[in-house]
Amino acid sequence: QKEVEQNSGPLSVPEGAIASLNCTYSDRGSQSFFWYRQYSGKSPELIMFIYSNGDKEDGRFTAQLNKASQYVSLLIRDSQPSDSATYLCAATKGTDSWGKLQFGAGTQVVVTP
Amino acid sequence: DVKVTQSSRYLVKRTGEKVFLECVQDMDHENMFWYRQDPGLGLRLIYFSYDVKMKEKGDIPEGYSVSREKKERFSLILESASTNQTSMYLCASYRLGSGNTIYFGEGSWLTVV
C-alpha cells in the first residue's frame, strides 16, 4: 500500500465548474499536507499546504483536511483551461520537520472549454 | 525568487556509464533533496542532505550516491547507469522554518540505453 494514495484520473471538468480532488494517507504521524500542480514536462509548483483540520482557502483553491479519516482534498472553483495539469498530494513523513515528503502518484485534471 | 538550477535538462547515457546530475540553489537553504519521478509512482525520495557533507538515504537509494561539498550544490551520481534508472530526476531545496515551502528545479530527463 502506498503511503499517499490518489485517483490517477483523468478527471474531466467543464470550464467554470468545481474540480474535486481526493487524497488519503496512511501515516497517522504526518503533520502537514501539500498540494502541488505539475504541468506536463515541468516541475511541481506548490499551490497550498494545510496542517490543521478543516478548510483553508486561497483564491479559487480550497484544501480540506480530516486527520481522523486521514483524508485531504483540494477543490478548484471556477475551473479554467489553465488548470489542466497533474495535481500531486504530499504529506510529511511522520513528525519530520526536515522537508521530506511522501508524494501520491498524482491526479490528472482536464478542464474542457 | 529562489532558484534551483539543474544544469542538465536532457541526457542520454549508455548502460554502465557513470552519470553526474548537478543541482545548485541560490538561497542558502540547508536542506536539499533528489527525487525521481516515474509514471504511476509519483515522486520518490532518493537522497536527502541537511548540511554540507551530510547525507541521508531516502526511500530508493540503491544504485545512487550523492555529494554535497558546498552548501549550494548537491550532486546525484549514478555509479553505473542501468536502463531502470531512466527517469525524470528532480532536485529540491528547503529552508528550515520557511513555512514548508520546498522549491523544485526544472528536472533532468535521463535516458539510459
For residues A98-111, give the mean pLDDT: 90
Give whichever of A24-38, A84-98, B92-106 has the largest mean pLDDT.
Answer: A24-38
Q: What is the mean pLDDT of residues B86-95?
A: 93
Touching check for B89 and chain A: CB below 8 Å?
no
Phi, psi of A84 (to 5 degrees): -65, 115
**Is pLDDT above 90 for B39?**
no
Q: Which of B54, B88, B95, B102 to mutate to test the interface with A (most CBs of A within 10 A)?
A: B102
For chain A, the C-alpha Rg in angstroms (whole number) is 13
Q: Chain B residues with CB inside 8 Å of A97's CB?
A: 96
pLDDT above 90: residue B63: yes
Q: Residue A94 pLDDT more than 90? A: no
Q: Which residues of B touch A3 (CB under 8 A)?
A: none
Task: Please give the pLDDT value at position A99.
Answer: 75
At A39, the pLDDT band (50, 70, 90 cuts) reads: very high
Quote the minimal CA–CA distance from B98 to chain A in Å.
Answer: 10
> Is some CB atom of chain B closer than 8 A to the CB atom of A99?
yes
Cell triple for residue A111?
Answer: 478542464
CB-based contacts of B1, cutoff 8 Å, min separation 6: none
A-chain residue closest to B32, CA distance: A99
Cβ–Cβ below 8 Å for B43 and A98? no
B42 and chain A in contact, CB less than 8 A: yes
Average pLDDT, chain A: 92
Q: Are B33 and B57 in contact (CB under 8 A)?
A: no
Percent of chain A with pLDDT over 70: 96
Query: Which residue bears the cell 547507469?
Result: B81
pLDDT in tens, A64-77: 999 999 999 999 99
Q: Rounded to 5 degrees, what angle do the CA atoms B105, B111, B113 make?
A: 165
Whether residue B48 is predicted with pLDDT greater than 80 in this model: the reply is yes
For B19, half-sphere exposure in the C-beta direction (CA atoms, 13 angstrom radius) is: 29
Tell me the three state secondary structure of residue A30: coil
Residue B45: its pLDDT value, please?
93
Task: Select the more confidently predicted residue: A32 or A83.
Answer: A83
Give A-chain residues touching B43 at CB under 8 angstroms.
44, 88, 90, 101, 103
Q: How far apart are CA B2 and CA B66, in angstroms?
A: 22
User: B11: closest CA among B110, B84, B107?
Assistant: B110
**3-class DSSP state for residue A32?**
coil
- Check pLDDT > 80 for residue B3: yes
For chain A, the residue count is 113
CB A34 within 8 A of CB A87: no
Which chain A residue is nearest to residue B99, measuring alpha carbons? A49
For cell 483540520, name the residue. Answer: A53
Query: Quick one: what percent of chain B has pLDDT higher than 90?
Result: 77
Task: Tell me the C-alpha to C-alpha distance, in Å, between residue B26 and each of A17, A50, B32, B34.
Answer: 39, 27, 12, 16
Question: SS3 for B7?
Answer: coil
Mutate to test the interface with A, among B35, B95, B100 (most CBs of A within 10 A): B100
Alpha carbon distance A18, A64 (integer Å): 14
